[in-house]
Structure 1
Amino acid sequence: MDKICKRILQKIEIQDFFDRICSLNTADFNSILLKLFSLRTAKSTPQKVLHTFRENRFVAPSSFDPIKLHQLELELLSMTSKAGITNKLLSPVAPIGSCSVFGCVNQNNVLSAVRNVEVLSDPSNILAIMLSNDILNNQIDHTRCTHYATTTRVVRGQKWEGENQYAHFGIFCIVSTAQDKGSYLCEKELLKHHLQFYDNLIQTRYHRKMTIVLRRRTGYTAYEDFFEKMYSATKEMFPDTPISVVLDSENNNYYKGINFKIYMQKDNEQIEIGDGGFVDWISKMTGSKKNRCLISGLGLERLLLL
């Protein structure tokens, strides 16, 4: 238990306070949170609200041009639609634990809210949840590749330093799924679709060529063989694209088998555009190890700065 929580328990003199609260059912837990927020806001004033706006980094408006950002979103979503990818418009909130339960992020770096939700911090997880739900409801043909994409703003708890760094920012992402076909055919098909999209984006918008960096990850039983197959397939798909590899087989509880980074050359500098890789989220939610999932994404503000 951290020092802050220990201090709070000493102040209220209820040492098992957190255990008692967490043992409540969801409805009662939310009722308590609603009551607490109601009591707190009842003591607030318009001046205090203004003070919070001035001091709270989570509510500070971005300095980026909203017209340019929304034009970029329209361009990206138009490209995904032409590429056979289904676009989704997400809610600004997600089920509580949508990131932390999968080991992606500490819950303290997410803005948790009442009514069993949290402020959206990663649209990739939500698209994977939507795909899992559609698989279990037989709403998609899972023998074929299915791709969902979105653009949205997210909020994260980490404190970013530097110019143009905000607690909220725009993200574009693609999440794809299909059933294992053997010989890594499914993974090759999913990877090809994602990389082709980013190759087309860089050529169409910036008239440049992309560079790919592939990093080996654990998570597959024969992860070394899997990585070699993916590397060979990528070279075959993009024979004129510079491809480098990183063989540090790091297990980061996120990507499985492989993850990739997309770069673009600008002014003698390699600029990172986006990244992606395979995850096991859909297989966990659907209870089938045959269900593959590939995610990728990029930051919208980063593209606007190029």
Structure 2
Amino acid sequence: MAERASALERVLKQAGGPEILDVLAERLPGADLTTLLLETMRRRSGALSPADVLRRYGHDRFVAPAPIPFGRLRRAEDAALSALPEEFEPVVLAPVVPLGTHSALGPVDQNKVVSTIRNSEVAADPTNALALEAALRRRAQSADDPGRPVRLAALQRVVRAQRFEGAVSYAHFTLFALVTAGRDTGNLAFERQHAAEHLAILTAAVRACGAPEAESRVTVLDERFERVAAELDATPDPGREGGRGYYTGLCFKVYGKGLEAGDGGFVDWTARLLGNRKERLLISALGVDRLASG
């Protein structure tokens, strides 16, 4: 954080002072900022030679091809999809989402996603885009059939700006994601049904990818969810630290091939998107590259 602040201070000094940041971030209308940034990028790209582009391609971790062979990754994708029940609708997501999708819902630091100059950002997690789509569908159906859940799934190549450590950690990778959006029906019925459903799909997908020893671990974040966890085929994991403040009620992880392969839990995104505290949302995802790496 201190390093980031120091770099920003240096840049602002070169740009004429800290007030330039206020102008760009707060005072300049969005369309005008886009116009300014488009012209900036047009001029910068116009000064580049083919050799410059090739040099950047050879060193930029965001643009290098995936280290997983195509055939192996494709087989893992197909295997994951084979575990998807017909109640879930696969969606082909766009590679970008509206600016703020990850930080406003997550929350995720904006510096961990790749922002564009057209008020959008490169997808970093398909569950965020699926949540937006689910919210639109829930709003459209609310008057006619508010109790019917919306079940969506996606396979998406995503990009994350932070650096990851480890042999199977990449700047871009494929996620197999699920979301289920619905209405609170009392007695934690929604939570009990759909947590079990997501875990069954994810563990089946891990096994289909060649990991028969698939394991689930569940962490209770709210004591009311103890009864939900008790009904799941999962090992209690009370010491988990990651995900607290991101998930609500309960979260879980899925393991396969000796690696952490998946993650999920309940979030309040559709409740906030639709302004209705009765809305419920469960999200989960598997890292397909990790399952294809072995």
Matched, 1:74 2:62: no
TM-score, normalization by structure 2: 0.90
Query: Which residue matches 1:123?
Result: 126
Alpha-carbon deviation of 1:166?
Answer: 2.3
- 1:199–1:209: 8 Å Cα contact kept in structure 2? no
Are the structure 2 counterparts of residues 203 and 44 from structure 1 closer, same or farther at C-alpha, using a change threshold of 3 Å? closer
Query: Which residue matches 1:17?
Result: 20
The structure 2 residue matched to 1:282, chosen from 270, 273, 284, is 270
- C-alpha RMSD of matched pairs (Å): 2.2
* 207-216 or 90-99, which deviates more: 207-216
Aligned equivalents of 2:97, 2:169: Cα separation in 1: 23
Aligned equivalents of 1:165, 1:88: Cα separation in 2: 25
Are the structure 2 counterparts of residues 278 and 189 from structure 1 closer, same or farther at C-alpha, using a change threshold of 3 Å? same
Equivalent position SS for 2:108: coil
- 1:254–1:279: 8 Å Cα contact kept in structure 2? yes
The structure 2 residue matched to 1:56, chosen from 38, 45, 60, is 60
Query: Which residue matches 1:189?
Result: 193
Aligned equivalents of 1:91, 1:254: Cα separation in 2: 24
Are the structure 2 counterparts of residues 9 and 202 from structure 1 closer, same or farther at C-alpha, using a change threshold of 3 Å? closer
Q: Quick one: percent identity of the two aligned structures?
A: 32
Are the structure 2 counterparts of residues 166 and 114 from structure 1 closer, same or farther at C-alpha, using a change threshold of 3 Å? same
Per-residue deviation, residues 253-287 of structure 1 (Å, max 9, x unmatched): 210011011234x5xxx543312100011110010
Alpha-carbon deviation of 1:205?
Answer: 4.5
Query: Which residue matches 2:178?
Result: 174
Query: Which residue matches 1:110?
Result: 113
Matched, 1:243 2:251: no
Equivalent position SS for 1:70: helix
Aligned equivalents of 1:28, 1:156: Cα separation in 2: 27
Equivalent position SS for 1:276: strand
* 249-258 or 1-10, which deviates more: 249-258
Q: What is the one-letter code of the residue matched to 2:77?
A: E
TM-score, normalization by structure 1: 0.87
Q: What is the one-letter code of the residue matched to 1:9?
A: L
Which runs of 5 or more structure 2 residues have no equivalent in the other structure?
Answer: none
Matched, 1:231 2:229: yes
Query: Which residue matches 2:162?
Result: 158
- 1:275–1:296: 8 Å Cα contact kept in structure 2? yes
Count of aligned positions: 289
Q: What is the one-letter code of the residue matched to 2:286?
A: L
Aligned equivalents of 2:93, 2:182: Cα separation in 1: 22
* 102-111 or 135-144, which deviates more: 135-144
